[in-house]
A and B are shown apart, each in its own frame.
Chain A
């Protein structure tokens, strides 16, 4: 076991990022896709905080970035959920594969 440090956190965040990406690519339910997006954003937040802590503690850029990402995530999630609910109303389903009318 090693002393946990920046690289450990970077590993966690990268892993979480790609877990989120994997979820986005494979989940068929729109809400779960949205959840995957949240994971992605959180992994990014972790990155910012870790960099801020270990490398650039002099300024709070990373921290504020995280803060605003959280806020954006909330707004994005809200709009996305509104759209999903509207889609559900018209399609009677939130399966992403049922919304494929627009193609080619």
Chain B
């Protein structure tokens, strides 16, 4: 059985770090805060690895099936008996896998930041926020209750907001953080309503009970929920779709991806942690958590998941080919890769061999975390060196940044799916799953994988080859041991993670899944990948006019891709013109002038009536007598003739 204390400590240690550094950091731990944070996280990581070992090799497997354990569950808020928000820890293969990923990447980022963020004025705050994020993310992956996941979901959102806006005096950072928060918040609205629908249909918020209720097709809950329909879809369909919207927002799926590229305004290690490896895959994780419901009860929604993933993957890949800000390229690449994971889930089925997509998705999540974090940290080192994000300011850096160069290359090869790097294995499985279930998505995925190789190597060559570097004034090298260590460790991961027999550990039903390796099948993607690499090499290895000519020959298509297909502009139009001008302003005007106006009108009318009738009090005593007499006569007539 899992040890509740140890598992609880994994998220709580970063939380302790947050509280410690947040409350006292600026006064007491001014200089040691980085070390404190890192030490706490190191402990967490060790505990996470220990837990993983225990789970996968000691107690997790019962009768050949990986079980879910809930070593701790506290009622946090009870709505009615059976319907409550619990704070608990679900220990199963994906959560343990995520524990490892999150703590490991986070640890890498912590270490890396010791060097990267050195000398920042708000250094302790930075580590506090990192702690908060790590805590929230770990809480998210451990959630055993859909509301619990929502709570941590929001918390990671806000930590992401805080970290993107870390350089709060930079207006662009402030804007980006706002955008990230609001867009994901919008998606969370869907999530929330989805939770309401699902919980109402199943009568519970607990994941296990909910899945059990909703996946047994003859249960009353499912019958009533599928019977009632709204706008042509059953309640359950709506619920699952809305939950997916939440996931899509967090995972930057099209069309809710617009916040992700802007989020690169944050410090680069943060991008590595949050916007590459961990938080953005929360959406995938969420769908995976509820996978039985999607797969068994509402396959239609799963199909949507698949298509959204596929479309995001290719669109992001196309855009990534045109961007010049290296972090933005990586951001679109992230989006593209998450698209992969998403459609892998979308093409999966529940149980047995059909569940290959699920396993592949998780596998890709795992490997992606390694190489994408590596890419970001590498990019961070580059930016650290040249003080610019723009590809055009770089070139020929391989001599100045040898370690970065090598690790970056490894990551690029991994993401491009070149064997034997990690990306190759996970991508193969995804493509296989797609091939088995949905040919259209398979073709999209295939093209995307070619594009991926192309833009990654475009990036690689632009940074490390291409033109000769301008000589920078202060040469502070690659940033020392603390920045190199994570690169190397991650490079090892990116290179070797593919050899983990992932299907053994993670599958839809907990039973081991044979990993199939079809050489015949691998030819196409690898060939496409190599083609992409070669094209990139041809275009970008040396500084030349070819890319520009190519761009101009593609004309408006290139322009559209360069401008991210104008999706930002559409959003801007909706928010500025519709929300602010068509709803906000009229609402404010209406309130001041109509609602308040009516209230004031009442007052003013009273005043003017008062002014109007003052003539009655004319000061003429005879007039008074006339009123008197008239009053008498009228009353007399009324009471004698009318109300008798």
Do chains A and B make direct contact within the complex (CB under 8 angstroms)? yes
Q: List A residues at the B interface (Cβ < 8 Å).
A: 21, 24-26, 33, 96-97, 100-104
Q: A24–B617 Cα gap in the complex (Å)?
A: 18
Q: A79–B619 Cα gap in the complex (Å)?
A: 21
Whole-angstrom distance between the Cβ of A80 and the nearest chain B Cβ? 12
A101 contact from B615, B617, B619, B621, Cβ within 8 A: B619
Which residues of the partner chain B approach A97 to less than 8 Å between Cβ atoms?
620
Structural contact, B619 and A102, CB atoms closer than 8 A: yes
Whole-angstrom distance between the Cβ of A24 and the nearest chain B Cβ? 6
Residue B629 lies at the interface, judged by CB distance under 8 Å to chain A: yes
A25 contact from B617, B618, B629, Cβ within 8 A: B629
Which residues of the partner chain A approach B622 to less than 8 Å between Cβ atoms?
24-26, 33, 96
Structural contact, A104 and B619, CB atoms closer than 8 A: yes
Given A25-B629, A104-B614, A96–B621 Cβ distance below 8 Å?
yes
Given A24-B622, A26-B622, A96-B622, A104–B629 Cβ distance below 8 Å?
no
Q: Please give me the residue from chain B that is nearest to A28 by CB atom.
A: B622
Residue B626 lies at the interface, judged by CB distance under 8 Å to chain A: yes
Q: Please give me the residue from chain B that is nearest to A30 by CB atom.
A: B621
Inter-chain pairs besides A24-B625, A26-B622, A97-B620, 7 sampled, C-beta below 8 Å: A25-B625, A100-B620, A101-B619, A103-B617, A103-B618, A104-B615, A104-B619
Whole-angstrom distance between the Cβ of B9 and the nearest chain A Cβ? 83
* Residues of chain B at interface, number, CB under 8 A: 11
Could you tell me which residues of chain B, from 588 to 644, have a CB within 8 Å of some CB in chain A? 614-615, 617-622, 625-626, 629
Which residues of the partner chain A approach B620 to less than 8 Å between Cβ atoms?
96-97, 100, 103
Q: A49–B223 Cα gap in the complex (Å)?
A: 97
Structural contact, A25 and B619, CB atoms closer than 8 A: no
Which residues of the partner chain A approach B618 to less than 8 Å between Cβ atoms?
100, 103
Which residues of the partner chain B approach A24 to less than 8 Å between Cβ atoms?
622, 625
Whole-angstrom distance between the Cβ of A101 and the nearest chain B Cβ? 7
A-B pairs under 8 A by CB, number: 27
Which residues of the partner chain A approach B619 to less than 8 Å between Cβ atoms?
100-104
Q: What would be 13 A-B contacts, judged by CB atoms less than 8 Å apart?
A: A24-B625, A25-B622, A25-B626, A25-B629, A97-B620, A100-B618, A101-B619, A103-B617, A103-B618, A103-B619, A103-B620, A104-B615, A104-B619
Structural contact, A104 and B625, CB atoms closer than 8 A: no
Which residues of the partner chain A approach B615 to less than 8 Å between Cβ atoms?
104
Q: A90–B477 Cα gap in the complex (Å)?
A: 108
Q: A24–B625 Cα gap in the complex (Å)?
A: 8
Which residues of the partner chain B approach A103 to less than 8 Å between Cβ atoms?
617-620
Whole-angstrom distance between the Cβ of B517 and the nearest chain A Cβ? 103
Q: A101–B617 Cα gap in the complex (Å)?
A: 11
Which residues of the partner chain B approach A102 to less than 8 Å between Cβ atoms?
619
Whole-angstrom distance between the Cβ of B480 and the nearest chain A Cβ? 90
Q: A103–B624 Cα gap in the complex (Å)?
A: 11
Q: Please give me the residue from chain B that is nearest to A102 by CB atom.
A: B619
Q: A21–B617 Cα gap in the complex (Å)?
A: 20
Q: A100–B620 Cα gap in the complex (Å)?
A: 6
Whole-angstrom distance between the Cβ of A25 and the nearest chain B Cβ? 5
Which residues of the partner chain B approach A33 to less than 8 Å between Cβ atoms?
622
